[in-house]
Structure 1
């Protein structure tokens, strides 16, 4: 580890990302980036879902890094690809219901991108993908699930939280659990060690 204390800022309001870093013993502070995600998506129509997750993560890291050039800034974002297209967060619970019914019994992919910036420059970025297979759940289960989880689901790109009742929507998940939660944690920790934010 370097002799000087390296400050890390998480440019995300995600409680799951905060919890992952806290549980891993990573010292950090939170500053929400305030990036216009719709504008980034509109300017990135040439990218696939995985590359878009990285682009969004980079935009968040840069937005905060330009305001605090002395700190390392971690940006992260998640995208979901299903049926050949990009899925965004559902605006209403009714939309979440329709989306979950469409994904029921089928497979989709979650992409978690991350980027590390310092002095207004991205110095590292990466993405990890998880294959998610939903079970053929009943309409009754779906109704009970939506009632139990409520509007909190609208903050989740897939309208589920795997760390909660959403785990019952699935029959198989292939890939890293941390990626499902929204951060490719292992590569991020490796990069934080390289940067001197964490002890090697």
Structure 2
């Protein structure tokens, strides 16, 4: 199987679960695809699913006969407003201020494709509440978290210091980390990729 992503978190989850895979960047222009999908009225859930499918199909066309996993994650508030990867510490601080004291959802999509055709898809949903964050906490957190955090929607890793942001969590940690792992493993067993 090929993972159509170079996400360290997704790779780590698959490696820990002993799933055999190779990883390759999809080459999909996510910003352009997101802009087009949002212009068409895609919900956050549909956006995550469509981006995961684009990645899986793009890579599956490069490797005929090979199973490819595409994945994507979208963060949205209850009113549908989305937050992207902060990328910079200044934007991280702004996003943390937006998240402070509010609830949001993470939509983590996975799509399996072969030969340019989606075979299976699943969107996991986790709902998180962020505790009220003081300006001093936001400033300190944004200044010292690892660079990898800047590549995560919302700007936190719950498997690390980001857990301190949470007041509540409904859903599974795999979905929060960016991959609905349990449904994916079940499907891989059904396809014979993993032993039953």
Q: State the TM-score, normalizing by the size of structure 2.
A: 0.94
Q: CA-to-partner distance for each residue in 1:47-104, whole Å, 9 max, x for gaps?
A: 1001110100001101110000121000000000024312212242212111111110
| Pairing of 1:18-167 with structure 2 (within 5 A) | 18-45=11-38, 46-82=41-77, 83-167=79-163
Count of aligned positions: 193
1:5 alignment counterpart: none
**Gaps in structure 1 of 5+ consecutive residues:** 1-7
Q: CA-to-partner distance for each residue in 1:16-49, whole Å, 9 max, x for gaps?
A: 1111111111111111111101121122122100
Alpha carbons 2:89, 2:143 under 8 Å: kept: no
Q: CA-to-partner distance for each residue in 1:132-151, whole Å, 9 max, x for gaps?
A: 10011222221221122153
Change (3 A) 1:20 1:91: closer
Among 183, 194, 198, the alignment partner of 2:194 is 198
Alpha carbons 1:93, 1:150 under 8 Å: kept: no
Following TM superposition, by how much is the alpha carbon of 1:115 offset from its aligned partner in structure 2, in angstroms?
0.2
Following TM superposition, by how much is the alpha carbon of 1:127 offset from its aligned partner in structure 2, in angstroms?
0.1
Find the residue that maps to 1:66 and give its secondary structure.
Answer: helix
Q: CA-to-partner distance for each residue in 1:142-199, whole Å, 9 max, x for gaps?
A: 1221122153322011111111111101111110110000000011111111111111
**Gaps in structure 2 of 5+ consecutive residues:** none
RMSD: 1.2
Find the residue that maps to 2:123 and give its secondary structure.
Answer: strand
> What CA distance in whole angstroms lies between the structure 1 residues aligned with 2:16 and 2:10?
10
> What CA distance in whole angstroms lies between the structure 1 residues aligned with 2:173 and 2:92?
22
Q: State the TM-score, normalizing by the size of structure 1.
A: 0.92
